[in-house]
Amino acid sequence: MRVDLSWIDYLIMIIYFIFVLGIGWFLRKFMKNANAFLEAGRSMPAWVAGLAFISTNLGALEVMGMTGSGMKYGMLTTHFYWIGAIPAMIFLALFMMPFYYGSKARSVPEFLKLRYDEKTRGLNAILFALMTVLASGISMYALALLMENVLGWDFNLSLWISALIVLGYTYLGGLSSAIYNEVLQFFIIVIGLLPLVFLALKDVGGWIGLKAQLAPIAISKGYAADAYTSTWMYSGHASANPLGVEWFGILFGLGFVLSFGYWCTNFLIVQRAFAAESKAAARKVPLIGALPKMFIPFLIIVPGIIALALSHDPGKGFVIPADPGGGLNYNLTIIMLLKQYLPTGVLGLGITALLASFMSGMAGNVSAFNTVWTYDIYQSYIRPRTSDEEGDGKHYLKVGRIATVFGILLSIASAYIASKFGNIMDFLQTIFSLINAPLFAVIFLGMFWKRTTGHAAFTGLLLGFLLALLHHGLTIPAGATSLVKGGWIATLHTYPVEMAQNFWTAIIAFGVSTTVTIGLTFLTKQKKSDEELTGLVYSLTPRTIVDKDLPWYQRPVGLAILVSVIFLVLTILFW
């Protein structure tokens, strides 16, 4: 299934690689200490950090994973963009960023140290470092898969080449290089994939024609005729929709636990807002990112739904190859669509858009990993900071660069684990449900309940993770052949699809973490005074209005209202 590219297509890709490496080369002279390399000097304008905020998320998860999920689950996949993102992004902007940014913490684990204690920070740092290398490995796997199928390169060679390119510009320019490249990659992704959306929609007769073609497919699988083009309408029962999850699982498992756990506590994402130039700018970062986030489904999910219709039309000659387990390899959906529709030159731009999305995901995870490793593990437990001298900063700069290399190598190893999943989106959600869900419970309680203690938070975080892992080991999705997907202890329950298993894993992780943390808080003593918790807990922090003289659309609250209105309109239109 190799795609035939012309010299123009290759030229577009080469120019892109020169640009991303050039940005890193240009910024290297500004990387004089650890603060500049790992935190971008907290100097980013809100719009730059906002686009980087959403571009970091617009990696392999979005483009390859979500297009495949669009073919597998239909419009229900948009839950990950609307109910599964927007409320959490608004909450992060209005309520959590003032505490994150105002605390002067350099990472989410460091915030946990300030709010709770050292052991809670250490546990989260280890779990987060594990999550970032696994997520980065998914992006590497996706990119290597693309290069293997498009360029005909060997998978292993492709994996190492993609890793070296990301290592190059991240090692040279640090977080600043990653952020500016993410902004560039955002525009390349949009420009590169828009032609595919228009051509594919035209081919199936527009949205009305697509619904007509999907109706018999849905009926043949036991669903209502418009099940693949609706979001909430058939969520009354798990068996009535392709996602295999009822409304409670979607609303609580995804819309609350997974969503708030990911957007509000995942340092990979929050780090972009940490890099903003002021607290006001940091609060606007998630809201600026939310505006394009709501429309990305039309760029990558709708083509996946079109692929479902094409695959059932013999006259189109559209076929998705099988994965090693014998099922459809949904990860290849976007590649087959590009091959089907884009001509020379435009095809090169589309392939470059995919390369950009995968590198964005890789660089984002690696830059978050090197920050957490340097500040929350190395500086805390291996070589604590003894002074603020320039030489000390240069030492941690060196450590951060070494951590970048180390993170890339670990990511390569995790890429081979990702190859066991037919849909990388399912693998990512498994990781998030295990790690982000219990973390959100601990941070949420800590920010809004001053009584929460460090001993309770540490135990709640640990038990939430362990019992979620136990649930994963005792359950399995229907038809799963890999132990990585669950059932590695025993099979006590079978879920209809992987996503249903992930939602309930997240619910269990959050529920256990919340219950344990609250229960133990009443049995343990709060060791921090109100003065120590000022700026970290909502009830103890004075509210100051610093943007009252700005126009409404430049204030966080005004932006939040605008985002909320668009969110509600889209939800109603595709109900």
- 473 pLDDT band, cuts 50/70/90, is confident
pLDDT at 389: 44
What CATH number has the domain bearing residue 26? 1.20.1730.10
- Which residues fall within 8 angstroms of residue 400, CB to CB, at 6 or more apart? 34, 37, 38, 174, 370, 371, 373, 374
pLDDT tens column, 506-517: 889 989 999 999
Mean pLDDT of 313-338: 72
Q: Is residue 440 part of a domain?
A: no
Q: Is residue 245 part of a domain?
A: yes
pLDDT tens column, 483-496: 667 777 888 888 88
- Which residues fall within 8 angstroms of residue 343, CB to CB, at 6 or more apart? none
pLDDT at 334: 81
Q: Which domain covers residue 407, as residue numbers?
A: 7-427
Distance CA 228, CA 419 (A): 27
Q: Is residue 551 part of a domain?
A: no
pLDDT at 421: 58
Nearest to 242 by CA among 72, 66, 476, 79: 72
pLDDT: is 332 or 294 the higher one? 294
Phi, psi of 358 (to 5 degrees): -70, -40
Please check the confidence at residue 388 and state whether its pLDDT lies above 50: no
pLDDT tens column, 521-558: 999 988 888 888 887 888 877 766 556 666 666 678 88
> Position 471: which residue type?
H
Q: Is residue 119 part of a domain?
A: yes
pLDDT at 512: 94
Please check the confidence at residue 463 and state whether its pLDDT lies above 80: yes
Number of domains in the chain: 1
pLDDT at 390: 45
Mean pLDDT, the chain, rounded, equals 79
Q: Is residue 218 part of a domain?
A: yes
Mean pLDDT of 9-13: 80
| 184 Cα distance to chain centroid | 18
Q: Is residue 173 part of a domain?
A: yes
pLDDT tens column, 268-292: 777 777 777 777 788 888 888 888 8
- 162 pLDDT band, cuts 50/70/90, is confident
Nearest to 270 by CA among 347, 368, 338: 368
- Which residues fall within 8 angstroms of residue 46, CB to CB, at 6 or more apart? 276, 277, 280, 281, 282, 284, 285, 288
- 26 pLDDT band, cuts 50/70/90, is confident
Q: Is residue 535 part of a domain?
A: no
β-sheet bridge partners, residue 477: 495
pTM of the model: 0.78
Mean pLDDT of 462-478: 89
Q: Is residue 265 part of a domain?
A: yes
Mean pLDDT of 251-261: 81
Please check the confidence at residue 251 and state whether its pLDDT lies above 80: yes
